[in-house]
Amino acid sequence: MKRLFKTYLEKPELAGLILLVLLVVLFQVRSHGVFLNADNLRGILGILPEAGLVAIGVTILMISGEFDLSVGSVFALMPMTMAVLMVHGAPFQLALLAGLLVSAAIGFINGYVTIRFAIPSFITTLGMLFMARSLTVVVSGGFPPLLPVDLPNWLFTSFVGPGNMFRMSFLWFVAVAVLTSLMLSRTNFGNWIKATGGFMPAAAAMGIPTARVKIICFMLCSVLSGFAGMLQVLRLGSPLPSIGEGMELQAVASAVIGGASLLGGIGTVMGGIIGTTLIRVIDNGLVLSHVDANWFKFAIGFLTIFAVVANAWMRKRAKAIKMEG
């Protein structure tokens, strides 16, 4: 019993999960039952995958001990690359491939520069935030290109499932979440990510290629952000060069609310998803409860601080429960 209690207190995503349940109940009551009805849930689930995929990438990167501020810009650059290529006659598949390669390249540059010159990834990716955003506007020529009409929306944005509850993007999101979650908890590579972020000198001394591990995490984060940007563009039907602005900080907030540590080594994919869901729920719930929507950012900010404090407290409590014998 004590052991079980301790195990759960040590779960980094616990604080976020409790908050999520409390808020869902609160909003359900305040909105007189509208919050959990099918139409509203469909709305939330329709846009959750976009922020969620970015948060998964950012969370994994944070566990490896690094940081990415450029995700919002990659979120815009990837679909813009695709749109420009398609305007020039490239088929969708080729454009998709090119977009993903551009995202991966940006992740590689972020990682390589950070490690090669031993500078904080905060700086590298802050620079990349501006550069990638600028590139997005430059390649678009200032006007969002027109997307072709024959896009495979059935594969990415169409509604599916019982009562058309989900968009296809949600299935992609679930698939990525399951795969990355398994990667982190069940594979040796996941072990290397946690070791690299947890205490790099020890990881390196045990023969883990820490530089390669980090660069792969940077690339994964960028590719997921680019893919998420494409989902949003397909949903909106137009590649606006301004999408994803401010997303990097929301993604960090998601990861942190979900229990990831800024210092690395601690966190879960599930935590990042819970954090994102929490932010989406607040965004939606405030409106449904007739609260001035400008309180949204206040709530996110407060929640971020609160979740970290709660997590630190729970971890301390867990540590205090001695299990030696």
Which residue ranges make up the site for another protein (CB under 8 A)? 3, 10, 186-192, 194-195, 198-199, 201-208, 261, 265-266, 319, 323-325
Whose Cβ is closer to another protein: residue 219's or residue 230's? Answer: 219
Q: Report the C-alpha gap between 185 and 306 in whole angstroms.
A: 27
Report the nearest approach of another protein to the CB of residue 191 (Å): 6
Report the nearest approach of another protein to the CB of residue 25 (Å): 32
CA 160 to each of CA 39, 98, 112, 166, 174: distance values in angstroms, whole numbers, following the listed order: 14, 28, 40, 5, 14
Provide the token pair at 37: 């009805």
Report the nearest approach of another protein to the CB of residue 66 (Å): 16
Whose Cβ is closer to another protein: residue 166's or residue 192's? Answer: 192
Report the nearest approach of another protein to the CB of residue 5 (Å): 14
CA 224 to each of CA 32, 59, 134, 185: distance values in angstroms, whole numbers, following the listed order: 37, 11, 20, 19
CA 55 to each of CA 58, 93, 271: distance values in angstroms, whole numbers, following the listed order: 5, 25, 9
Whose Cβ is closer to another protein: residue 292's or residue 324's? Answer: 324
Report the nearest approach of another protein to the CB of residue 213 (Å): 11
Provide the token pair at 272: 């990042």
Report the nearest approach of another protein to the CB of residue 92 (Å): 29
Residues with Cβ within 8 Å of residue 78, at least 6 apart in sequence:
99, 100, 102, 103, 225, 226, 227, 229, 230
What 3-state class would DSSP assign to 166?
Answer: strand
Whose Cβ is closer to another protein: residue 10's or residue 245's? Answer: 10
Report the nearest approach of another protein to the CB of residue 200 (Å): 9
Whose Cβ is closer to another protein: residue 199's or residue 296's? Answer: 199
What 3-state class would DSSP assign to 260?
Answer: coil
Residues with Cβ within 8 Å of residue 139, at least 6 apart in sequence:
77, 80, 81, 84
Whose Cβ is closer to another protein: residue 29's or residue 182's? Answer: 182
Report the nearest approach of another protein to the CB of residue 263 (Å): 9
Whose Cβ is closer to another protein: residue 175's or residue 202's? Answer: 202
Whose Cβ is closer to another protein: residue 65's or residue 107's? Answer: 65
Whose Cβ is closer to another protein: residue 124's or residue 196's? Answer: 196
In this structure, which long-range contacts are made by residues 131-134, counting pairs with CB atoms below 8 Å and at least 24 apart in sequence?
Answer: 131/73, 132/70, 132/73, 132/74, 132/76, 132/77, 132/106, 133/72, 133/73, 133/76, 133/77, 133/241, 133/245
Q: Report the C-alpha gap between 314 and 310 in whole angstroms.
A: 6
Q: How many CB atoms lie under 10 A from the CB of residue 160?
A: 12
Report the nearest approach of another protein to the CB of residue 53 (Å): 22
Provide the token pair at 54: 């970015």
Provide the token pair at 38: 């099918």
